Structure 1
Amino acid sequence: MSALKLNKEGTEKPDLPVIGIFATCDPRIDEDSRIRAANIVKMAADQLTGVILTPAKEEVPVVYSDVLVDGEKQADLVAAQFKKAGVNVIICVPDTWAFPQLTVMSLLAHFPQEIPFNFTTGNSGPRPGVVFTHATGGALAQSGRLIHINVGSWDDTGLDPVMSEATKKELIDWCYAAVTIQALKGKRVVVFGHDSMGMETALPHVAATRNQFGIEITRLDMKLLADLLSRESYDKEELARLRSWLEEGSAGIELPEALDNDNLDKSLALYLIVRDLMKELNAVGGGFMSQLEWGSDARGIPLPVADIMESLFNSTFDHNGPKEVIPYATEADVQALLTQLFMTWLSGGNPPLFMDFRKVWEPSEIKEFAKAQNIELTGETSWEKKGFVDGVNSGSASFDWAALPGTDPKEILKKITFPKAVEYFSYLGNSVHFISPEGIKGIAARLAYSSLSGMFSMVWDETETVLPPEELAQAVCETANPTWPHTFVMPKHATMVEYKHYAPANHFHMTWNLNRARLQFWMDMANVLSVAPWAAKPDFEEGVDRPVPLLYLINGGEDQTKLMRKR
């Protein structure tokens, strides 16, 4: 027999994660109960099929086995089925009692210890799958294995029960976390330039990132970009289409001098060059070091700012129409990039917003500032009572954030201007400018790393965008940089004093329509410490937070357990 040579077909894009669903059962029960148990497996698979999407809007495959796992023989069979199908996310939907070691534990022995595993069960009295779930969940927790339990509900009787919407929602949140974990293993991000402006909070922790998340960080010298730009290594016809799209569709591009016209072309060409490089390397995210290496070191040859390029990567559209969000970090801030990458995948591809954690406006400061501007306030709005952060940065601001989620791209572009860059970048091209609307809800967060523990943490809170009256909003922009994008962010739980003292870095990042449970499930699976030290935040809010895994409860708490798992 000869070894099989693999063909080169289909190697362009790595495989997607595969979700596998099965059920355990008891060989002693009646036939109708067995039919019902098998039907529940298919029902759960149907509930998830076509629902879990990647940022490229690809449907994550869902497979199921109608072999009921009564004992070791069936456990081995289903494990073999799952392996053949490429399953790397496993869900068990038991409806009856079964025997833990003979079933789930035997099946899981075929897979890596860290494979995401979920029990979703109805709270049924007649055939107590929930009893089996607790018995097996306890055994797995005692063995040090992380799993999640979703004790939901479906009809107690009947051959074709349907899970409740609340049960389905929690399962979908868990699946997004599991898919994010598994999909990003083996992927790479591409970062141009060396350390980010000397910011220790932004360094590429290569080994730690590889070991904890399975993500590779490819670092390329910026000379390559300078050379490709100089050699005009891009499609000039496409460059013309990109420029025409911006000129005709946006609210205006400021080009006071001939040099500005040339710099705009170069900055747009940079997007095309980097896009093609990223595609060539199968990169899922990127970063670009502008200061000081690229364009603001007076000893070198000035090169155009990358603001438009970075914004385009983070947007859901460009001149070619709808596209996948490719999270991108200004200043080659790798921990910003990872934060955006994880939250984009967790949200199914929603655009991230990269911001400076700029001025924190406390209620008293807002009141005094408005008075100085002769602007009368009511004192009744949420942002007057709570305060807000002026999130502003020269790059990486997704175009989508100029409007509410779901707005047509043509309408979004009408809200964006491209003024000549000022301050540090006065001779280098155009910024991106808009003010985000109020009412965008999501999570703002920032990944951090500690050499003391060797662990990553996520500092986070639920947030919402607010918008003062136009005159006041513009005055606030003038206090920072009026040519950059501005998003006024109000945290849900943190006070302004807490928020401005507990920031882990000078940048923070928001993704819309991302909920707490989904982020928490991911932090469990990724073994990332959850940092939300806000006095007003409850430890657990039913229907909002994910239930705390039993593994944490029997090992001294979440942080303690995560530290032990790291060792």
Structure 2
Amino acid sequence: MKQAKALSEQATFTERKPVIGVFAAGDPRIDQDARTRCQNIVKMVADTLAEYVSTADVVFSPILVDSEPQADIVAQQFQDASVSILVCAPDTWAFPQLSVISLLAHFPKRTPINFTCGNSGPKPGVVFANAANGALSQSGVLSHLNIGSWPDTGMNPQMSEATAEVLVDWAYAAATYQSLKGRRVVVFGHDSMGMETALAHIIPTRNTFGLEITRLDMKLLADMLAKKAYDQKELKALRAWCDEYVGEIELRNDQDSEYLNTSLAMYLIVRDLMKDLNAVGGGFMSQLEWGSDFRGIPLPVADAMESLFNSTFDHNGTKEVRPFATEADVQALLTMLFMSSLTGGEPPLFMDFRKVWEPWEIKKLAESLNIPMDGKSVWETKGFFDGNNSGSASFDWAAKPGSSVKEIMARVTFPLQDPGYFPGGGNSVTFLTPAGIEGIAGRMGFNALSGLFSLVWDEATSIELPDKLAEAVCNATNREWPHTFLTPKYATMYEFKQYAPANHIHMVWSLKPARLQFWMDFTNVLSVTPWAARPSLVEGVDRSIPLLYLQNGGESATKLALAGR
């Protein structure tokens, strides 16, 4: 009697990268040299991805998909290798239905697929790429076309840098889309201070991103602090690290010192809980119940804990960023999680959309302080906004990318928190971000009318102000919190302050528009860039618009149709 195979009881979870499978369609009529060239191109494309994409593994098949039998074989090879992302690199004409479409039938409908080819004439792979892309589009299937450049002749052509850049951006977006399915974040507390724009939309998040939200009560954390459910030797090591590296820690007495230790212990407890749950990010409600409600026992703030999670290092050395949201702002958490993943793990910045300084207003302040102006600086001509919040500020943002831990932490201070707002005590984290850090600033949101998530975004750059002016700007809000002065690339400050989807905004450095756009294609997130100065397509910066969108009334109309709206 045949019996089922039992799997091991000793199995453990291992975090795995998604796998990209590279292949090429072929034509049984081409000669052996042409077939060998096709196989070499498949390997060249696969090697390029393996070299430049850190968030995915790469496999390729040397079998050319001439027709249905080869489609079945390659699909089975890829399934055995856990492939969830497909790249077709054709160099010759082939028949779409007999090759790619037959192979795709073995995979889920929304499997990312990319056609990357040279603009070749002899045996036109570009003709096939257009035919296959068009065939998928008319079926309502999203695919991305990357008609790049490599030599028309020769057995071992190499793709151009521009072709590789588009492919790599697409691959990072596809890897982010696939890698976070089935994962989870952990959020302590209930709704974020009553902020409707920060709610944990459990079912839409699960259906859109395949991501789970585990909710834990803050009582668990309070109890574990009271029980000292952490390694007390490690707490001493973490505190000693802070004493050595933090530029200045404000402490008035032994009680203040103990409050700081409590905040650091929170990091150790939550870190271990997240590890136990295989969580990729988290959030903490705090206000009001944790540290501000006198009906209970106010406890110290979580600022140091949140900053440590969002940083690329801690007392144990280099570590992975685990995006973490102040005030249990789940839309902030999702924004930071996805944007960080798209860069391979760069540190996110959590900010209040605190105060927008239009040119007229900042110049008026500068005049009152007798600060000379020449009319050429960015803060004079375009203005900026002051992003600051009491928590979640990655330490990395205190210095420029590539700085050492010592350089970064020398610019960080831990002042005491405002006892009026945070009677439970504890220390904030503060610094002033240097100029010249570039990336994307934005914010996700959810809307009940469409049932879709959206992302308001723009490219942005950090700027510096004259010292006296910077001090005045910081004092206009909360000096004891981190400050990052940002100027968007296309949005005017009027537009930026009117079209903010919530009171928080976030930024990750080195994130490119094309990667973000590809990811929004995969997840069906609406892209919101209502800036009058931004073209619909910035060539060489944006991803090219998918044919599926062009044939269905535009990007937003297509995404609404895909969502059944």
TM-score normalised per structure 1: 0.98
Task: Give 3-state SS (helix, strand or coil) of 2:255's partner.
Answer: helix
1:8 positional shift: 4.5
Partner of 1:536: 533
Gaps of 5+ in 1: 55-59
In the alignment, the residues of structure 2 paired with residue 65 and residue 502 of structure 1 have an alpha-carbon distance, to the nearest angstrom, of 47
Partner of 1:448: 445
RMSD: 0.9
Is residue 2:204 matched to residue 1:203? Answer: no
1:51 positional shift: 2.3
Is residue 2:421 matched to residue 1:420? Answer: no
In the alignment, the residues of structure 1 paired with residue 538 and residue 458 of structure 2 have an alpha-carbon distance, to the nearest angstrom, of 14
Task: Give 3-state SS (helix, strand or coil) of 2:52's partner.
Answer: coil
Partner of 2:490: 493
Q: How many residues align?
A: 562
Gaps of 5+ in 2: none
Is residue 2:38 matched to residue 1:41? Answer: no
**Contact 1:466/1:489, CA 8 A, preserved across alignment:** yes
In the alignment, the residues of structure 2 paired with residue 8 and residue 401 of structure 1 have an alpha-carbon distance, to the nearest angstrom, of 44
Task: Give 3-state SS (helix, strand or coil) of 2:500's partner.
Answer: coil
1:377 positional shift: 2.3
Partner of 1:481: 478
1:286 positional shift: 0.2
Partner of 1:431: 428
How is 1:77-476 mapped onto 2 (pairs within 5 angstroms)?
77-422=73-418, 423-476=420-473
Task: Render the CA deviation track for 1:347-402: whole Å, top value 9, x for unaligned.
Answer: 11000000000110010111110111222222211121000000000000000000
1:14 positional shift: 3.4
Between stretches 409-418 and 9-18, larger displacement belongs to: 9-18
In the alignment, the residues of structure 2 paired with residue 508 and residue 381 of structure 1 have an alpha-carbon distance, to the nearest angstrom, of 24
Q: What one-letter code is carried by the residue in structure 1 that aligns with 2:12?
A: T
**Contact 1:252/1:416, CA 8 A, preserved across alignment:** yes
1:9 positional shift: 5.1
1:424 positional shift: 1.0
Task: Render the CA deviation track for 1:309-360: whole Å, top value 9, x for unaligned.
Answer: 0000000000000000000000000000000000010011000000000110
In the alignment, the residues of structure 2 paired with residue 129 and residue 397 of structure 1 have an alpha-carbon distance, to the nearest angstrom, of 48
1:541 positional shift: 1.3
Task: Render the CA deviation track for 1:133-162: whole Å, top value 9, x for unaligned.
Answer: 111111100000000000001111000000
**Contact 1:193/1:293, CA 8 A, preserved across alignment:** no
**Contact 1:420/1:426, CA 8 A, preserved across alignment:** no
**Contact 1:13/1:282, CA 8 A, preserved across alignment:** no
In the alignment, the residues of structure 2 paired with residue 528 and residue 504 of structure 1 have an alpha-carbon distance, to the nearest angstrom, of 14
1:74 positional shift: 0.3
1:16 positional shift: 1.8
1:250 positional shift: 1.3
Is residue 2:516 matched to residue 1:519? Answer: yes
1:545 positional shift: 0.5
In the alignment, the residues of structure 2 paired with residue 251 and residue 10 of structure 1 have an alpha-carbon distance, to the nearest angstrom, of 45
CA separation of 1:149 and 1:382: change in aligned 2, threshold 3 A: same
Task: Give 3-state SS (helix, strand or coil) of 1:88's partner.
Answer: strand
Partner of 1:57: none
In the alignment, the residues of structure 2 paired with residue 446 and residue 10 of structure 1 have an alpha-carbon distance, to the nearest angstrom, of 39
**Contact 2:118/2:147, CA 8 A, preserved across alignment:** yes
Q: What one-letter code is carried by the residue in structure 2 that aligns with 1:494?
A: A
1:258 positional shift: 2.3
**Contact 1:421/1:427, CA 8 A, preserved across alignment:** no
In the alignment, the residues of structure 2 paired with residue 89 and residue 26 of structure 1 have an alpha-carbon distance, to the nearest angstrom, of 23
Task: Give 3-state SS (helix, strand or coil) of 2:421's partner.
Answer: helix
**Contact 1:178/1:522, CA 8 A, preserved across alignment:** yes
1:421 positional shift: 0.5
**Percent sequence identity over aligned pairs:** 64
In the alignment, the residues of structure 1 paired with residue 9 and residue 377 of structure 2 have an alpha-carbon distance, to the nearest angstrom, of 60
Partner of 1:23: 24
In the alignment, the residues of structure 2 paired with residue 192 and residue 527 of structure 1 have an alpha-carbon distance, to the nearest angstrom, of 28
Q: What one-letter code is carried by the residue in structure 2 that aligns with 1:17?
A: P
Task: Render the CA deviation track for 1:486-539: whole Å, top value 9, x for unaligned.
Answer: 000100000011000000000000000000000000000000000000000011
**Contact 2:453/2:526, CA 8 A, preserved across alignment:** yes
1:409 positional shift: 1.0
After TM superposition, the runs of 4+ consecutive aligned structure 1 residues lying more than 4 A away are none
